Structure 1
Amino acid sequence: MTDAPRYLGSGTMERDPDAASLTGAPPSHLPSRLAISLWDFSWYTRAEEGGPYADLDAACAKAAQLGYNTIRICAAPLLLFGALGLDDLAADLEIEGLGTAPDGGFYGRGTRWYDAPGGYRLNLQERLLELFDAASRHGLVVILASWEYQQSPAFARSPRWFEAIDAVPLQDRYRVLADAWDRLIGALTTAGHRDRIAMVELHNEVDFSILPALAEGGTKELERLRELHPDLLVTASYGKPPHLAMHTVPDGLGAAQFHVYSYGVLDALQQQIDIRSEGTAGFPNPAFPNPALAALLRPGAPSVAEYGRLADWKYRATVVTDQMFYGYDWIDPDAWDAWLYNGFGEFREVMRREIESRVIAIAAWARWKNVPAVVGEGWIGYTPLHGTFEEGPVGRDLAERGIRAALDHGVWGMVLCSNAAPHHPMWADEAWQLRMNRRILTAPTS
């Protein structure tokens, strides 16, 4: 018989008092926390007259006013510095959007990110410097990424951008990206903006792009780029990191910039209406839309045949399918939201726990590797432009849980929500953004 206390396992252990300390130290010249707004490629694809990015200085000023200190963008390194024979196109890039539909409107009008009316030209290299000048004036730092092997070229009128990067052999794409980033970083350094670079991502969501697995050449190129620029954080982002097997993430990442989405009830809806499938081979597919989707469409929605098709090359240049474009352009957002609210109860606890556990897994991996952790996108998933489920009380509650978990586990930077940006309706919720950004930027780091 002993008087020693019974040992009941980890449940009796006190919480690590250092759990909220940063997972890895960021460069000393950068903010102690990053409050990120996701501007993606929209800073150049939504620059039409009166558009959210027509005036870059005003957009940066508003972001700073709402409490953000970081913007994350597609810097189009392959177009601007890829040595692919595109210099003339970069200097006079015509933004078309996805093209004009038979009814006179434009394709993508009901989507997020793709709702670009187009109709203008720009010099993208000059615009990149203009953005950095504006960011400097308003105290913002910039996360640089590329969406070029996901969607960026689809917004151009000319297919040359897409055709040039698509012609790069698969095994050479990471090398070409790394070389382009080296040149782009050099140009920003010459312009006096090196300290404004918060992070460089070889590519956005390498697991959901037209790229080999990161371990198949990407890690080598990441390490080479890090050696060329040891003062900068250089990494690649994952759209869905292997949360249950984080040990399989390859070494070489300078930061854990991973995305946290919990589709839950949204995925249940998407499966029921079969909206993410691709019908290109036999489009229009006579089985699409199915009755469940047809019941959610707006009155007077055209048939798939009447809706028509984007130029074929644009489908190859993006990860969004033909069925998604049709469905999101013609969905009744109220009916969409009602379905999600009615079904959410079954998924509430799963989605809450999934967000929290994924954040914790990312932070634990970053702490193991001694690198800063960042959640560059999150929290629910891809919804129609005018659906308000993610902007509403349920979505905000899930976002706040994700932010709280991130702060509690030492994540350096995070978005409030992927939709909290000038090109989304959520930008109008100023009070919530101010409150959440204040929470992020005043959180202790040690």
Structure 2
Amino acid sequence: MTESPRYLGSGTAEVDTASLTGAPPSRLPSRLTITLWDFSWYTRAEDGGPYADLDAACAKAADLSYNTIRICAAPLLLFGNLGLDHLATDLDIEGLGKAPDGGIYGRGTRWYDAPGGYRLNLQARLLELFDAAARHGLVIILASWEYQQSTVFAGSPRWFDAIDAVPLHHRYRVLADSWDRLIGALTAAGHRNRIAMVELHNEVDFSILPALAEGGSEQLHRLRQLHPDLLVTASYGKPPHLAMHTVPDGPGAAQFHVYSYGVLDALQQRIDIRSEGTSDFPNPALTALLRPDAPSVAEYGRLADWKYRATVVTDQMFYGYDWIDPEAWDTWLCNEYGPYREVMRREIDSRVIAIAEWARWKGIPAVVGEGWIGYTPLQGTFEEGPIGRDLAERGIRTALKNGIWGMVLCSNAAPHHPLWTNEAWQRRLNQFILAAPTN
């Protein structure tokens, strides 16, 4: 007598999840390998800066096997009809300003270490970027960081004041109108097919915006109707992984971010670096990690007051990251990482899978536009080092296994971060992604 295999339930049956969650437009690459240029492509364009030569930056990205750039295209500044035309063509990039010791504020941070000191025509520069991308076979994800931090780098508060004056419940509509006009300008310039995706805004859950359900979903539908050939969406910094059904209808793609803070969050809480206005800041735990030459908070001084309103980064973060000893920071994280290792790996897995399953349910392509650990000091090497690279590779493999269309190698894999110099790792991982089957 032949015995039948034991039946253990449908949950034991293998299911192929590697096929893409939804089909992207045929004009776009079968996989997206994304480098995150955010607003830095115009705030770090100083002489000798990482984006001073856009053609060279695009050439290097292509050489490293990236095929996609994700940027802040500043739609409210360029096409918002908010009385900012003069700034769109003559924008003073100041950075965060000069500190009392003569250095710049933000010197020890990622993204904010902008020396400034120049002016640019951002309207013309956007077309220059698309021209350079075309020469090197790159496509571009368009987003806006304006209600999160882009405006802080300007020399005056006029850009921030103009967008802040838009009533909260009108902001998604103004964004959608701005994108419609910006898309029209790119189309007229012959670059419509180079648009990989349009995000109403970056990280709507961590920006000065209402919840997406409060007007954003409606505007996504409207913008998609105006441009049915384009992928139109909005990104989440921390999507509701345990309740993805609560994400409102409207996104034409699932562009969500996957950060597993784990041990990093434990350190941040220990040193109270993300708060603002703490009376005993810096506490002893942070003081122990500061450089010997760190000034007092009073000696360090403050940015112009309007700049704190224009960014989600707090005064304590600026002080802490500017004066942290990166070696002491890394040593603490590495020494304490052990108990967090499996939790962080599983958290990356579960979040990627949640995003992919939601996208498959909706029948739309999925993208991890940022990841994998979190915000660290500029010269910290925890994410660039063996631990961070291991977690990144875990995320990439899980993403490919679950049908994610596009992904970053790491949020820090871009010309304005030290990780950019690790060319072999980037090229290897990008080629691994591009070689993965899509069906």
1:255 equivalent in structure 2: 253
1:141 equivalent in structure 2: 139
Letter in 1 for 2:321: Y
Letter in 2 for 1:42: S
What displacement does 1:199 show?
A: 0.1
Measure the CA separation in 1 of the matches of 2:12 and 2:142: 44
Whether 1:421 and 2:414 are equivalent positions in the alignment is yes
SS in structure 2 opposite 1:371? Answer: coil
Alignment of 1:347-386 (within 5 A): 347-386=340-379
Measure the CA separation in 2 of the matches of 1:274 and 1:103: 25
Match of 1:204 among 199, 202, 212: 202
Measure the CA separation in 1 of the matches of 2:143 and 2:199: 5
Measure the CA separation in 2 of the matches of 1:91 and 1:40: 19
What displacement does 1:49 show?
A: 0.4
Once the two structures are superposed, what CA deviation does each residue of 1:330-383 show, in whole Å capped at 9, x if it has no partner? 000000000000010010000000001100110000000000000000000000
Measure the CA separation in 2 of the matches of 1:315 and 1:135: 34
Structure 2 residues without counterparts, runs of 5 or longer: none
What displacement does 1:8 show?
A: 2.3
Letter in 2 for 1:422: P
What displacement does 1:238 show?
A: 0.3
Alignment of 1:133-212 (within 5 A): 133-212=131-210
Measure the CA separation in 1 of the matches of 2:142 and 2:279: 42
- TM-score (ref. length: structure 1): 0.97
Alignment of 1:76-87 (within 5 A): 76-87=74-85
What displacement does 1:286 show?
A: 4.2
2:110 equivalent in structure 1: 112
Alignment of 1:302-321 (within 5 A): 302-321=295-314
Letter in 2 for 1:96: E
1:16 equivalent in structure 2: 15
1:332 equivalent in structure 2: 325
Letter in 2 for 1:253: P
Match of 2:294 among 296, 301, 306: 301
1:270 equivalent in structure 2: 268
What displacement does 1:5 show?
A: 4.5
Backbone CA RMSD of aligned residues: 1.0
Letter in 2 for 1:27: P
Measure the CA separation in 2 of the matches of 1:182 and 1:290: 48
Measure the CA separation in 1 of the matches of 2:5 and 2:121: 71
Letter in 1 for 2:15: D
What displacement does 1:406 show?
A: 0.5
Whether 1:132 and 2:134 are equivalent positions in the alignment is no
SS in structure 2 opposite 1:287? Answer: coil
SS in structure 2 opposite 1:347? Answer: helix
Measure the CA separation in 2 of the matches of 1:300 and 1:61: 40
What displacement does 1:16 show?
A: 1.2
Letter in 2 for 1:404: R
What displacement does 1:388 show?
A: 0.1
Once the two structures are superposed, what CA deviation does each residue of 1:19-39 show, in whole Å capped at 9, x if it has no partner? 100100000100000000000
SS in structure 2 opposite 1:336? Answer: helix
1:282 equivalent in structure 2: none
SS in structure 2 opposite 1:79? Answer: helix
Measure the CA separation in 1 of the matches of 2:308 and 2:348: 31
Once the two structures are superposed, what CA deviation does each residue of 1:133-154 show, in whole Å capped at 9, x if it has no partner? 0000000000000000000000
What displacement does 1:158 show?
A: 1.0
2:381 equivalent in structure 1: 388
Alignment of 1:20-31 (within 5 A): 20-31=18-29
Measure the CA separation in 2 of the matches of 1:229 and 1:85: 26
What displacement does 1:102 show?
A: 0.2
Measure the CA separation in 1 of the matches of 2:316 and 2:334: 23
Measure the CA separation in 1 of the matches of 2:408 and 2:40: 16
Measure the CA separation in 1 of the matches of 2:268 and 2:346: 21
What displacement does 1:6 show?
A: 3.9
Alignment of 1:57-68 (within 5 A): 57-68=55-66
Letter in 2 for 1:87: D
Once the two structures are superposed, what CA deviation does each residue of 1:181-225 show, in whole Å capped at 9, x if it has no partner? 000000000000000000000000000000000000000000000
Once the two structures are superposed, what CA deviation does each residue of 1:34-55 show, in whole Å capped at 9, x if it has no partner? 0000000000000000000000
Whether 1:246 and 2:231 are equivalent positions in the alignment is no
SS in structure 2 opposite 1:36? Answer: strand
Whether 1:403 and 2:396 are equivalent positions in the alignment is yes
Measure the CA separation in 2 of the matches of 1:318 and 1:169: 18
- TM-score (ref. length: structure 2): 0.99
